[in-house]
Amino acid sequence: MKLIKDSHTALFFLASAVVLLASFIVVHLRFGGVVTEVIIHYDAYRKTNWSGESVVFYRILFLSTVMILIDFFISRKISSSNPFLAYTLALSALLFSTLIFIAMRVIMSVN
């Protein structure tokens, strides 16, 4: 039994899951044992604007995974009636997970 009938849509969701898994692995390798605060954002004057614990990264990844799962189930439900919208949801999930990966890497480069 296939979860999604269209192979392109399934490929985009699979790629999205792989990117999120890579994000989790990179975050865990970099911030797995960090117990101090991590600087998330600097303002224009290079002063700390927002800092938090390393758990923030795991929360972001968890919420991203939940959002992509919701997109997956919506796409699965509407794939027979509106394949273009299902394809668009799958592509947006891939783009979103890629943006999350880039954001995590940028924050890691600051710390």
Render pLDDT for 43-78 as a digit per residue (tens, 0 to 9).
666 666 566 677 778 888 899 999 999 999 999 888
Q: Note the pTM of the prediction, 2 decimals.
A: 0.79
CA distances to 29, 49, 106 from 91, rounded to whole Å, are 28, 33, 23
d(CA 22, CA 61): 11
Which pLDDT value is given to residue 4? 65
Q: Which long-range contacts (CB under 8 A, 24 or more apart) does 40-44 make?
A: 40/107, 42/110
Domain ranges of the chain: 55-111
Q: How confident is the model at residue 39 (pLDDT cuts 50, 70, 90)?
A: low
pLDDT reading at 96 higher than 60: yes
